[in-house]
Amino acid sequence: SRLDNLYRQVILDHSSHPHHHGSLEKSNQRIELNNPTCGDVIHLELNMEDDIIQDIAFSGHGCSISTASASMMTEAVLGKTLAEAMALSENFSQLVQGNDVPELDKLGDAAMLGGVAKFPARIKCATLAWKALEKALDNPEMGIGESGFMKHEED
Ligand code: FES
Ligand code: FES
């Protein structure tokens, strides 16, 4: 359908020209999360100030769904409070499991990934960046050194 084509185009745009891709000059949360089912990895950096995500960037290597999802996630949570970002993450997780979510529009382009619910094998691709975000936000006080990322493996 036209709608499917539109979604596919938006996903393709994000995967080929991801937003907020790279690294930050100043960050106080750095998470590395690995998807053990494929070996793909995301590096996520955040600069949190006054409980707000002031800046965010990601790098790593992943499939086009995971890259598009990371790009969409950064767009959705930039400038949000920790609580708002956590709520968005929960909504995204529900969405890709095929459940109805409140305030879908707040997810921005990420709302277009709802279709992965029909492809269970790709759900982890779509949630990798959001899981990394949750791990970063779970430990807001965990000052991480100047170099290096906290390493995690998806469970
Ligand atoms: Fe930064 Fe869109 S690329 S807000
Ligand atoms: Fe590895 Fe999608 S195949 S994250």
Task: Output the domain CATH number for residue 112.
Answer: 3.90.1010.10
CB 124 within 8 A of CB 37: yes
Q: Which atom of ligand 2 lies at the shortest distance from residue 124's CA?
A: 4
Q: How many structural domains is the chain composed of?
A: 1
24 lines ligand 2 (CB under 6 A): no
pLDDT tens per residue across span 134-144: 999 987 555 55
Is the confidence metric ipTM above 0.85 for this complex?
Answer: no
H or E segment to which residue 33 belongs: strand 29-35
* 70: nearest Cα among 110, 28, 106, 116: 110
Tokens of 18: 């991801």
Cα of 50 from ligand 2 centre, angstroms: 33
pLDDT tens per residue across span 69-124: 999 999 999 999 999 999 999 999 999 999 999 999 999 999 999 999 999 889 99
Cα of 87 from ligand 2 centre, angstroms: 24
CB 32 within 8 A of CB 150: yes
Strand-pairing partners, residue 46, are: 29, 56
Look up the domain containing 58 and give its range: 2-153
Tokens of 5: 């084509």
